Amino acid sequence: MKHATNNTNLETVINIRKPVNFTGGLEFTNLTYTVVATKREGDEWVKKDVNLLNAITGYAPKGCITAVMGPSGAGKSTFLDGLAGRIASGSLQGRVSLDGKDISPSLIKRTSAYIMQDDRLFPMLTVYETLMFAADFRLGPIARADKKERVERLIEQLGLSSTRNTYIGDEGTRGVSGGERRRVSIGVDIIHGPSLLFLDEPTSGLDSTSAYSVIEKVHAIARSGSTVILTIHQPSYRIQLLLDHLIILARGQLMYQGSPKDVTRHIERMGRRIPKGENSIEYLIDVIQQYDQSEHGVAAMAEFALTGLKPPPLAVGEISTSMIPPPTPPQKSHNVQGRQRTSNRLHLQSIDHNDREYDHSVRTPSRSFTSQSGVMQKFKLTPSRQLNSLKLPSSMSLSPGHYAYSSDILPGTPTPHSSDYTVNEDDYRTPGAGGNTMVYKHFGPKYANSFFSEIWILMRRNFINIRRTPELFLSRLVVLTVMGIMMATMFTHPKKNPQGITNLLSFFIFTVCLFFFSSNDAVPAFIQERFIFVRETSHNAYRASSYTISGLITYLPFLALQAVVYALIVWFALSLQGSFLYFFVILFMSLMATNSFVVFISSVVPNYILGYAAVIAFTALFFLFCGYFLSSNEIPPYWGWMNKISTMTYPYEGLLMNEFHTNNSFGRSTDGHDISGFNILQSLNIAIEESKKWQKVYIMLGWTVLYRIFFYIILRFFSKNQRS
């Protein structure tokens, strides 16, 4: 074999062939994901590009379970995210096609389901209600009876009939078991019959029986015609029997691809023999880890998976004591100087049991080489291992990287999956780069429901959760009721003197602060719900805008109840003046603005501890600049903007205007003059025009809308479960 004379890498293109009777599924070509990592070299920190995925090419057959395995840090979850469109398009390089047609990440999200490792479900919904809401979101405006029928059938298929009316539960509420909760999570995402199903560690945290039950249900889903891809760590022997296709990774490189039954032959071609009683898959992963810890690295194993070139033997100290050195298999003699070089053939180990070697005809290195399926893999070799291009002969067995179905692997080819979306290829395909790549322009509706239908469904679910977890709003109502009674008894019938005026001012500022603090408990409530929002919207269950509006509408009656209860308690006890309606509206708008502000903060912070810290910090700032300690004209000019953005400024001034917008006397000054309400407002630099009263309401409404818009922007553009 001739080696290149220069020092540049030789790009060798190797065919990765699918089975001859490949009936469709997901195909991926040259998936590469590069990030910038900071590493220490000597005394300096240097930024370097690191490949988390390195030119991975392969496929996941339809109607089968494809399991992605490998040691820790292999890139399994990253690889799954890349296939599922959960990596930013600018960061992930390569091609992904479904049933032979290129498909974009946005289309993958609309035709697939992604079951996360953690079960993010509402604890106070029953199994049936959880699946029914999933049906409402994903099935669109079909008849209610059809949705119920599909949910009932799914409950039976998932083995959840006995827990149909049981709450999901959480740490504080008893509910379904871990395995049942995992099956509910799967059911939520497959209710619409996705053609692609991704699962990230579906057996994590489950006992062996529950884990097998989950994979058994997933196996049935795959046999119905879906393409199932899952990551799994140390599956039991029973679970391994349910796996149809393996993709083994290490350090973001492809180590093996093919049938689980072909792992043994793959290991034998390396010149190794599996010790008696050892699991072939686990043994292969152990070998990969040994090479990873050696001077050769996993690149030698990746090269063997792609070219058949045996990896160099490990030194004695690099071989685990649990590995039994296999005897060297008999080799045919070859005249290396004569026949091998004159015929320019490279002899590699064959997977044929009768003939341990096969020949590859040498080809001139080319830029690309397309197999029968159009899938190709580029693999760059170091100068010390440069090879000429190898064309795999048609007589070669299809492993590793490819295998043929047999009756014992897949009894009966499943019928092609029928998606809920209809595609007219003539209308929805367009030439891609180079004129030969076909990509979809459209693939059915992006959302199953209309905007207003989504709002109604979300509101119904919100009201159910509030009814079953009344602590959130009842605690606020109780606090405001108790504090209202205390305020009514402390400040009852204020005296007509300067001290009485001071008492009224203290009452109003305390009321504003009380209403601001009463919404702080919304911080952990949304942070817990945010994970559910991310899971549901990652596959277009509903719009971020409908979620934002439905949340606001849901809270309105509860906020109004809190405001009217407090207003009724203190209004008559303190003999307040002005308009009771305006007094109630100011309190109500204060709650709305505060609630919107707290929800916005909750969407920005990563956890409720930081959320509470941020809300308390802003509360202190708003309180300081609201005009109580210093009137607006006394605040230094460079801090004047803080008075304008303080959400406490407007309810405080509005309450004062409602109370003191009158010529009535509130006492006498030290010089004996009557102090009217207008005198008090003027001394506080607060406008006395009647129209200014309602202007405060409009400003608070504006802050409410603005905070909700900020909240929507965070949800829409920054709350995606996606790698950058």
Output the six-digit token pair for 281: 């898959």
Residue from 712, 22, 675 nearest 401 by CA: 22
Tell me what the pLDDT averaged over the chain comes to: 78
What is the sign, positive or negative, of the torsion defined by CA atoms of 80, 84, 85, 90? positive
Locus of tokens 């004129």: 435
Tens digits of residue pLDDT in 431-459: 333 333 333 334 567 888 999 999 999 99
Q: Assess contact for 722 and 535: CB atoms under 8 A.
A: no
pLDDT attached to residue 272: 87
Mean of pLDDT values over 278-303 = 89
Residue from 234, 238, 206 nearest 219 by CA: 238
Locus of tokens 């979809």: 440
Strands (E), 242-338: 245-250, 253-258
Residue 465: which pLDDT band, with cuts at 50, 70 and 90? very high
**Residues paired with residue 14 on neighbouring β-strands, in sequence order:** 377
* Residue 563, helix vs strand vs coil: helix
- Within 10 angstroms of residue 364's Cβ, the number of other Cβ atoms is 6
Mean of pLDDT values over 18-27 = 72
Separation between Cα atoms, residue 95 and residue 93, nearest integer Å: 7
pTM more than 0.85:
no
pLDDT attached to residue 412: 27
Q: Does the N-terminal peptide bond of residue 260 adopt cis geometry, omega within 30 degrees of 0?
A: no
pLDDT attached to residue 580: 95
The CA distances from residue 30 to 242, 297, 371, in Å, are 28, 21, 14
The CA distances from residue 348 to 208, 336, 360, 468, 616, in Å, are 41, 13, 8, 67, 69
Output the six-digit token pair for 681: 């407002």
Residue from 334, 350, 331 nearest 342 by CA: 334
Mean of pLDDT values over 608-632 = 90
pLDDT attached to residue 28: 92
pLDDT attached to residue 724: 54
Q: What are phi and psi of 510, to 5 degrees?
A: -65, -40
pLDDT attached to residue 464: 94
Residue from 706, 697, 467 nearest 582 by CA: 697
pLDDT attached to residue 487: 92
Strands 429-431 and 438-440: antiparallel
Tens digits of residue pLDDT in 550-583: 999 999 999 999 999 999 999 999 989 899 999 9
HEC readout, 551-602: HHHHHHHHHHHHHHHHHHHHHHHCCCCCCHHHHHHHHHHHHHHHHHHHHHHH
Mean of pLDDT values over 525-531 = 83
* Residue 247, helix vs strand vs coil: strand
Q: Give, for 186, the enclosing helix (H) or strand (E).
A: helix 178-190
Asked whether residue 609 carries a pLDDT value surpassing 70, the answer given is yes
